[in-house]
Amino acid sequence: MPRYFLTGLKVEGFRGINNEGDPLAIKFKKEKINSIFAVNGVGKSSLFDAIHYAITGGLPKLDNLHQVERSQDYYINRFHTQTKGTIELLFQSDEATPQAHTVIVERLEDGTRNVASPSGHPDPEALLAGLNSSFALLDYHTFNNFISNSPLERGRSFSTLLGLDVYSDFRQAIKAIADTRALNTDLNIPVLEARAKLQNDSASAALVKTGNVYKVILGKDMGEADKLEDYSLEILQSLKQVKLIESDVAVASLGNVDFGQIVKTIKAAEGGLIKTGL
């Protein structure tokens, strides 16, 4: 699965950015470290808020406000006559032949969130969700908690920022799988082992019986078990030499022989012409 890098951003009517009819546009270079600097009050924080909202669908610093403060009123710029905020993101993959995709996220006045991809990405929401991790996006709320947390919590947060929490989850999952008792219970292994032993015993008994029949018919011991097909052909050829039942064994393989019919043929012969010598 390719990784995607943010290479362009356009924002209009979201948070502190108005620029009606002329979106504030920023370009980024995926192979370099990018930074945004400007004097206070021109929209630097709003740009980050726009990226955060597009990726996560919310802004913690607003969503954590008391209900009476009506946090939903602070998403859209109050001076924007279209009463909606528009965030356009341009992504480029890290493949040998890079793919470029545009995703547009709208925040309407009633809180509705619309996501679309003019470039034709099949699932733009999934593309954005794939970037929703502290490792990819560190917001002010997370950073502030990191500073104010206890040393223990700070250590855990730092692991998350480095992306180590994912590896920790994998490690815990592997550890759980490695617990033999849990694995035995989950997969019902004792029952499966008992069934396998029963099948193995049945196969061994059948092999012994087959060897005995082979010796009775051909007068020699059966060899390796992996040559059963050859042995069945030998038995069939031997049966075909018996004139009494030659019509009953006129088949291509031993598996097609009707042994019930052979028994009937022999019983009929025992009380018929052959037995009386007529």
pTM passes above 0.75: no
Task: Using the predicted structure, report yes or no on whether residue 102 has a pLDDT greater than 90.
Answer: yes
The H-assigned helical ranges of the chain are 44-56, 60-63, 124-129, 140-148, 151-161, 164-178, 180-187, 189-218, 228-239, 259-270, 273-276
Q: Do residues 9 and 25 touch, judged by C-beta distance below 8 A?
A: yes
- The average confidence (pLDDT) of the chain is 82
Contacts for 267-271 with beta carbons within 8 Å, 24 or more apart?
Answer: 269/244
Query: Does residue 108 surpass a pLDDT of 60?
Result: yes
Using the predicted structure, report yes or no on whether residue 276 has a pLDDT greater than 50: no
d(CA 139, CA 59) in angstroms, rounded, equals: 9
Give pLDDT tens digits for 29-57.
Answer: 888 888 888 888 888 889 999 999 999 99
Rounded to a whole number of angstroms, the distance between the first and last alpha carbons of the chain is 85
Distance of alpha carbon 203 from alpha carbon 131, whole angstroms: 55
- Confidence class for position 224, pLDDT limits 50, 70, 90: confident
Domain spans in the chain, listed from the N-terminal domain onward: 4-132, 138-178, 189-266
| 104's tokens | 């547009």
CB contact at 8 A, 21 and 62: no
- CATH number of the domain located at residue range(s) 4-132 in this protein: 3.40.50.300
Least reliable range by pLDDT among 77-81, 123-127, 159-163: 159-163
Please tell me the predicted confidence (pLDDT) of residue 78. Answer: 86
Q: Choose among 119, 78, 116: nearest CA to 99.
A: 119
- CA dihedral of residues 259, 265, 266, 269 (deg, nearest 10): 180
Whether the CB-CB separation of 162 and 135 falls below 8 Å is answered with: yes
Q: Is residue 109 over pLDDT 70?
A: yes
- For the record, the structure tokens of 227 come out as 């040559």
227 contact partners, CB below 8 Å, separation of at least 6: none
pLDDT at residue number 277: 45
